[in-house]
Amino acid sequence: MRFAGLFLVVLAAAAQAPPTQLVFDNAFGPSSISAANGIAVDAWGNFYVVATISDPFFTHPAGDISVTKWDPTGSETLYSTYIGSPAGDYATGIAVDTSGAAYILGVTTSSNFPTTAGALQTVLAGAHNAFIVKLSPDGSRVVYSTLMGGGTEFTAGIAVDASGGAYITGSVQSNLPATRNAFQKTPGGACTVIADYVNYPTTGDAFVAKISPDGGTLAYASYLGGQCADSGYGITANGDGSIWVAGITSSPDFPVTPDALQPQYGGGFSSGFLAQVSAAGDSLTHATYLGGSGNSQISAIAQDASGNLYLTGGSSGFLQPASPGAFEPSPPAYCLVLGIGPPLYSVEGSAFVMKLNPSATALTGLTYIGSPCYSSGSAIAVDSTGAPWIAGTPSPVFPTASPFRIQSGGGFVSKFSPDLTQLLFSTYTDYVAGLALDAAGQAYIAGFVTSSQPGNTAYVAKIDAAPVAVSLDNILGAGPFPAQEAAEMVAPGKVIRIVGKGMAPAGGAAGIISAGTIATSAGGVQVTFDGVPAPLLYANPTEIECITPFALAGQTATTVQVTYNGANSNPVAVPVWSSAPDVLVALNSDFTVNSPTNPAKAGSVMELYVTGGGQTNPPSTDGEIYTDPLPQPVGAVTVLAGSPNNLATFAAAAYGLAAGILQVNFQAPAQSEPGVRVQVGSAASSFAVYVQ
C-alpha cells in the first residue's frame, strides 16, 4: 500500500456562489487520464472522492486508485493517498461510516495487490477479483485491505452499517466463493432465451457479500439471479443488518418472493429488480421485478429517514403507472438510430425516480425525466425533506430548471419535489459517476471532464440548489417547428426564447424601438451574453424573446443571465455556433402562412424568414432595423427538398425587420415535403412545406 502526499495537480480556487449555482468546481488528478468513480459525505460535511488514475507517461501506467478527503468548503484537502499496484486497478465506489472511515470498492487484475495481515483473501484468484480497502478517518492508516472472489467478479456498489460491516454487490460469471449460509449457492443456470440482437446478455449473476468490520471474515456471499444475465448495481444497508440490492436482470426465473410488487417478468429485453437480503445473509426476505415490455434497469438506490426506498436508472416504461401529477408521467418516444450491420442490443428509455414504501410492497411515487433518445440515472440521494436528487447521463435535449449549464456535457443533475410533481433544479454537467448530499441538502457530484486532448480529468463539484427569485430555465427556438420547441442552438444575431420564472413584470413588457434600434431593456428586464446586453422583443414572467448579440461571433461558449429590477438570475453556460438557422415562418407567394389548409402552388416562389444565420457582410449591428442596402449572409444559403437541387432563388437580410433575420426566397417543390432543409453555411434546419 503506497501513501503519497497530495496527488492534486490542478485545484481551482473555491468561491462562494449565488444560490442555485456551483459553490465550487474543482479539477484534480494528473493531466493525462483520471476519472472520479464515487463520492461520499460524512456527518461533518467532509466529502471523500475515489478516482482511478491512469497516466502512461508518469507513475501510473496501468491504473491506480486515489482517495481524497476535503473539508466542506472544498478549499482544504484533509488527506489524499494512492492505493494500488503495478497492474490494473479500478475503483467502483466509496462509502463512509459514522466515524469517518472510508471504504473503497473496486476490481483488480494484479497478482500483488497490497493486502493487510489477517485479510479475508490475500492472493488473486482467477483473472480479476473485488477489493475492499478501509482507511482510518484521518487517512493515515489502512485498517484493512482485502481481495474477495473467485476470478470473475465485477463490482458496482458498496454500503456500510453502523458496526463497520461492508456490503458489496456487482456481477460474477462463476466461481464466487459462496458461503455455507448463502441463500443461493450456485449460479442461476443456462439461459434459454433466444434474442435476435447481437450483444444481448445471457450469462452471469448478480452477487451480494458482507465483509466483517475487521476485513478478516466473509460473513456471507451469495449468487443472486436466474438462468440469464443478472447484475447488481445499487446497495443500501438497514439498521437491522439487512440490505436492499437493486440492478438489472434478463432472467424470466429471477427468484422473486410471494409478496413481490411485480412477480412476473415484464416481457422486455431487461427488467430492473429489487431484493432484500436478511441480516444473516441466508434468505431473500423480499424480491421483485420492476420493469415493463421494453428495457428497464435500476442503477442506484437510497433510503430516507423513514425507510422509504428511492430508485433510479433507465426505463422505456414500467408496468406500474406514474404517480398522480408526476413531472413526466411517461417516457418520451424513442428516437430512431440507424446503423450498419445486425441489430445491437442496447438499453433504451428515460431516467426515472421511483419511490416505494419501506417494505417495497407499494409504489408511492414514480416520474420519468428525459426526452427522445436514451437517458439514465446512475446515482440517487434524498434530503431530509424527502426531495430526491438524481444524476446520470442525459438525452440530447434534457429538461432543465435553474441550471448552470445547458446543451453541453455528458452528465446531468436533477432535484425533484418530494411528491415528484415538480422539477426544482436540473442542469447539464460533465460526466457524473457519484452523487451525495450533506445534512443541509446541498449536493456533491464527482466524475470526469473530457477534452480535445487524449484522456480525462477528474472533477468534484458542490451545488447549492436553493430557490431563486429570477430563474432562467432553458433557451428555446422562436419558430413554430417541433425541433425548435426543445432546446436551441445559440448563434450570433439569433432570435431566441428564454423560459423561466419571475423574469419580468406580471403584465409583461414590449420591446422598444428608438431611433431605428431595438432597445436592450424593457420593463426593468435585461438579458446579457457575457455581459453584453441583447435587444429585447418582449418579456413576461415566464418567457423573454430577444436577439443574441453579434459579439458572439468567433466564440464557442457564452454565459447568459437575466436581470429583472436589479435581481440576477442564475448564470447559464451555453455553447455558441457560428450559424444555427431556424425558420420563423414560411409564406406562400400571396404572403399568407403556408399550412396544410393553405398550401402553396407547386413551382411558385415562397418566402422564408430565417434567423440564426450568423454575421452578415457588411456586419450587422445589434438591434438595427434593416434598410437598403441589405447585408448578405456570410455563408452560402441552400434550400433542399428531396433532391440535391438548390431551390433558393434569393437570400439577404430581411428589409424592415430586426438584424439577425434573413429573407430566403425559394421555389416550392412539386409535392408536400415534411423535411425541407434550409442551410446557411455549415448548419441547417428542417421545416415543412405544404403544396397543392
For residue range 242-292, what is the model confidence (pLDDT) as tens digits? 999 999 999 999 999 999 999 999 988 899 999 999 999 999 999 999 999
d(CA 645, CA 652): 20
- The predicted model gives 92-121 an average pLDDT of 96
Residue 489 confidence (pLDDT): 87
Residue 596 confidence (pLDDT): 97
Q: Let me know the angle formed at the C-alpha of 201 by 198 and 206, rounded to the nearest 5 degrees.
A: 170
Are 474 and 425 in contact by the 8 Å Cβ rule? The answer is no
Strands, DSSP E only, in 383-530? 388-393, 411-416, 423-429, 431-437, 443-450, 456-464, 471-477, 495-501, 509-510, 513-514, 517-518, 525-529
Q: How confident is the model at residue 371 (pLDDT cuts 50, 70, 90)?
A: confident
For residue range 145-191, what is the model confidence (pLDDT) as tens digits? 999 999 999 999 999 999 999 999 999 999 999 999 999 999 998 89
DSSP state of 439: T
- List, edge to edge, every strand of the sheet that includes 376-382: 376-382, 388-393, 411-416, 423-429
Are 449 and 410 in contact by the 8 Å Cβ rule? The answer is no
Residue 34 confidence (pLDDT): 79
Q: Which three cell numbers stand for residue 650?
A: 434569393
Query: Which backbone phi and psi does 483 adopt, to 5 degrees?
Result: -60, -25
Residue 274 confidence (pLDDT): 98
Residue 14 confidence (pLDDT): 29
d(CA 539, CA 525): 7
DSSP state of 483: G
Indicate the range of 267-276, 335-344, 584-593 predicted with least confidence: 335-344
- The predicted model gives 25-33 an average pLDDT of 56
- The predicted model gives 654-677 an average pLDDT of 96
DSSP state of 120: S
The SS3 call for residue 485 is: helix
Are 401 and 424 in contact by the 8 Å Cβ rule? The answer is yes
Indicate the range of 254-263, 484-493, 643-652 predicted with least confidence: 484-493
Residue 8 confidence (pLDDT): 28
Q: How confident is the model at residue 202 (pLDDT cuts 50, 70, 90)?
A: confident
Mean residue pLDDT of the chain comes to 90
Domains in the chain: boundaries: 473-575, 582-689
Residue 9 confidence (pLDDT): 25
* Residue linked to cell 477534452: 451
DSSP calls for 544-564: EEEE--GGGTT-SEEEEEEEE
Indicate the range of 51-60, 111-120, 575-584 predicted with least confidence: 51-60
Q: How confident is the model at residue 11 (pLDDT cuts 50, 70, 90)?
A: very low
Residue 639 confidence (pLDDT): 97
Residue 406 confidence (pLDDT): 93
Q: Is the dihedral of CA 145, 148, 151, 153 positive or negative?
A: negative
For residue range 521-541, what is the model confidence (pLDDT) as tens digits? 999 999 999 999 999 999 999
Which helix (H) or strand (E) is 595 found in, with range? none
C-alpha distances out from residue 550 to 533, 554, 663, Å: 11, 10, 18
- Which among 576, 513, 562 is positioned nearest to 533, based on CA atoms? 562
pTM for this model (two decimals): 0.91
Amino acid at 88: G
Residue 643 confidence (pLDDT): 87
Residue 488 confidence (pLDDT): 72
Q: Which three cell numbers stand for residue 181?
A: 449460509
Q: Is the pLDDT of residue 336 over 80?
A: no
Q: Which three cell numbers stand for residue 586?
A: 414560411
Are 471 and 544 in contact by the 8 Å Cβ rule? The answer is no
Are 225 and 182 in contact by the 8 Å Cβ rule? The answer is no
Q: How confident is the model at residue 204 (pLDDT cuts 50, 70, 90)?
A: very high
Q: Which residues pair with 35 in a beta bridge?
A: 52
Residue 22 confidence (pLDDT): 57
Residue 340 confidence (pLDDT): 64
Q: Quick one: 473-575 is in which CATH superfamily?
A: Immunoglobulins (2.60.40.10)
Q: Is the pLDDT of residue 432 over 60?
A: yes
End-to-end Cα spacing for the chain:
77
